[in-house]
Amino acid sequence: MSDIINVENLIKVYPGGTRAVDGISFSVREGEFFGFLGPNGAGKSTTIQVLTTLLKKTSGSATVAGYDVDKDAREIRKVIGVQRQDTILDGDLTGRENLTLQGHLQRLHGNALKKRVDELLTLVELSDVADKRAAHYSGGMKKRLDLASTLVHKPRVLFLDEPTSGLDPQSRVAIWEHLETLNQDEGVTVFLTTQQMEEADRLCQRLSIIDHGEIVVSGSPVELKHQLGGDTITMSLANGDGGVKDRSKRIVSGIQGVTKVLDTETGLAAYAKNASALVPDIVRLFDENKIRLTSISVTSASLDDVFLQHTGRRIRSEELSKVDTWKGHV
Ligand SMILES: Nc1ncnc2c1ncn2[C@@H]1O[C@H](COP(=O)(O)OP(=O)(O)OP(=O)(O)O)[C@@H](O)[C@H]1O
Ligand SMILES: [Mg+2]
């Protein structure tokens, strides 16, 4: 497979001086589902805007489908679809009218356009409400219509900027399914940005994790999690001052099977292949050393753990879903 997106040492400095993208390099192969995972302000939208020719880069090089983002913007726009972070639908128009308008902008007309609009309404399951005003759609329906409007001209490469943010779990899964269909059945290359580990994990064949305008690590989700060396043991400490944390860290590091121990906001995260089996040992050792644990849980390593390992913090602080929990241990 050849590269359909190629980025080398891309830098974007905004007029105020913010280095939003600070020398990133990556490539995406034709047909690939590629992800950019990172927290607020990481530089995801800036990268998408440069690649979709909506924003001029400061330096470096970037090509899409072999075309240069600075010199060949018109050519690039013919082969890409872009879903921006904020929806750009016209609420006064119906779903069908929105898609038809988008078609006209892409120079499609007549029966061919009518057929394409029907196809897309079916794909995103909006046929039933096609003739209602978009302003009356739910958030999930708007996002699905937005997605459909990026597809009118059958793009080869689809750029999606947080396509499921703010959606309920059901609508999120519906969008994921449409994206998988597009990628797998129609061979559309997808470049997706997200802050959601679960989304990146489910959809992306390869991804880069981006933070403060830099790529901190790239690989397939499986590869990245595998590098952590096992499942995660998350420990919260009752009195997490520096001394206690350091002592706890030494204790956990000394346990056979533990491959790595990292600080978290509330305590520690340790990685081990036989993580569940080590929990009783940890609880006993902490007891003997009079260190109070408020909770200890074992989870499969996630992309959030990968982010933690590379940046020293979590993308978000919500608790991971727990497999085993010992709460309130004194
Ligand atoms: N038009 C702009 N002018 C100046 N600075 C900007 C502009 N747009 C973004 N920035 C800054 O550039 C950095 C990267 O922003 P960007 O929007 O690319 O992040 P992001 O990863 O898309 O974040 P989010 O997940 O919140 O959408 C941030 O520090 C942001 O404040
Ligand atoms: Mg953004």
The token pair that represents 4 in the structure block: 């359909």
Query: In the numeric block, which tokens belong to residue 187?
Result: 């061979």
Band of residue 184 on the pLDDT scale cut at 50, 70, 90: very high
pLDDT at 274: 86
Please enumerate in sequence order all residues whose Cβ is within 8 A of that of 160, keeping only pairs 6 or more positions apart, or say none. Answer: 83, 147, 150, 179, 190, 191, 192, 193
Task: Tell me the three state secondary structure of residue 287.
Answer: helix
Q: Which amino acid is at 66?
A: G
Is residue 125 domain-shared with residue 188, that is, in the same domain?
Answer: yes
C-alpha 143 – ligand 1 centre gap (Å): 21
Q: What is the CA radius of gyration of the chain?
A: 23
The CATH number covering residue 274 comes to: 3.30.70
Residue 324 pLDDT > 60: no
Task: Using the mean position of ligand 1's atoms as its centre, give its distance from the Cα of residue 45 in Å.
Answer: 7
Residues within 6 Å of ligand 1 by CB? 14, 16, 18, 20, 38, 40-46, 85, 195
The pLDDT assigned to 25 comes to: 98
Atom of ligand 1 lying closest to residue 49 CA? 18
Q: Is pLDDT above 50 for 96? A: yes
The answer to whether residues 193 and 278 belong to one domain is no
Task: State pLDDT tens for residues 206-229.
Answer: 999 999 999 999 999 999 998 888
- Among the candidates 219, 250, 273, a domain finishes at 219
Do 151 and 124 form a contact (C-beta atoms < 8 A)? no
40 Cα–ligand 2 center, Å: 7
Q: What is the pLDDT at residue 327?
A: 35
The whole-number pLDDT of residue 289 equals 93
- Split into its structural domains, the chain has a count of 2
Cα–Cα nearest to 199, from 186, 180, 225, 219: 180
| Residue 319 pLDDT greater than 70, yes or no | no
pLDDT band at 15 (very low <50, low <70, confident <90, very high): very high
- Kindly state whether residues 208 and 276 are assigned to the same domain: no
* pLDDT reading at 329 higher than 70: no
| Segments forming the whole domain that contains residue 143 | 3-219
In the block, tokens 């390869």 appear at 206
Return the SS3 of 300: coil
Ligand at shortest distance from the CA of 17: 1
Checking if the pLDDT of 302 tops 50, the result is yes
Give the mutation target among 10, 13, 18, 52 for probing the ligand 1 site: most ligand atoms within 8 A of CB: 18
Q: What is the pLDDT of residue 330?
A: 32
Looking at the fold, whether 39 and 187 belong to one and the same domain comes out as yes
Do 7 and 142 share a domain, yes or no? yes
Say if residue 253 is in the same domain as residue 161. Answer: no
Domain boundary among 178, 194, 219: 219
For residue 18, the model assigns a pLDDT of 96
What predicted TM-score, i.e. pTM, was given to this entire model?
0.85
Helix (H, G, I), strand (E, B) or coil at 66: coil
- Verify that 85 and 146 share a domain, yes or no: yes
Work out the pLDDT band at 87, boundaries 50, 70, 90.
Answer: confident
Read off the pLDDT of each residue in 22-43 and give the average, rounded to a whole number: 96
| Alpha helix ranges (H) inside 87-206 | 95-105, 110-123, 139-149, 169-186, 197-203
Pocket test for ligand 1, best of 46, 47, 315 (most atoms within 8 A of CB): 46
Q: What percent of the chain has pLDDT over 70?
A: 94
Q: Domain of 214: which CATH number?
A: 3.40.50.300
Packing angle of the helix pair 110-123, 95-105 (nearest 10 deg): 130
pLDDT computed for residue 318 by the predictor: 38
Task: Give the mean pLDDT of 14-21.
Answer: 96
**Per-residue pLDDT reduced to its tens digit, 106-138:** 899 999 999 999 999 998 999 999 999 999 999
Asked if 155 and 295 sit in the same domain, the reply is no
Percentage with pLDDT > 90 across the chain? 75
Per the structure block, which two tokens stand in for 284? 């006993």
- Do 38 and 85 lie in a common domain? yes
Query: In which band, very low, low, confident or very high, does the pLDDT at 1 lie, cut at 50, 70 and 90?
Result: low
Ion ligand 2: residue ranges with CB closer than 5 A: 44-45, 85
Is the pLDDT assigned to residue 239 strictly greater than 80?
no
* pLDDT for residue 241 is more than 80: no
SS3 33: strand
Predicted confidence band of residue 325 (pLDDT cuts 50, 70, 90): very low
The closest-lying atom of ligand 1 relative to the alpha carbon of residue 43 is 18
38 and 176 inside one domain: yes
- Give nearest CA residue, ligand 1 atom 26: 40
Domain end (from 201, 219, 237): 219
Average pLDDT, the chain: 90
Are residue 206 and residue 232 in the same domain, yes or no? Answer: no
Same domain flag for 158 and 273: no
Q: What Å distances lie between residue 80 and 108, 123, 190, CA to CA?
A: 15, 19, 10
Split at pLDDT 50, 70, 90, the class of 166 is confident
Residue 290 in this model has a pLDDT that exceeds 60: yes
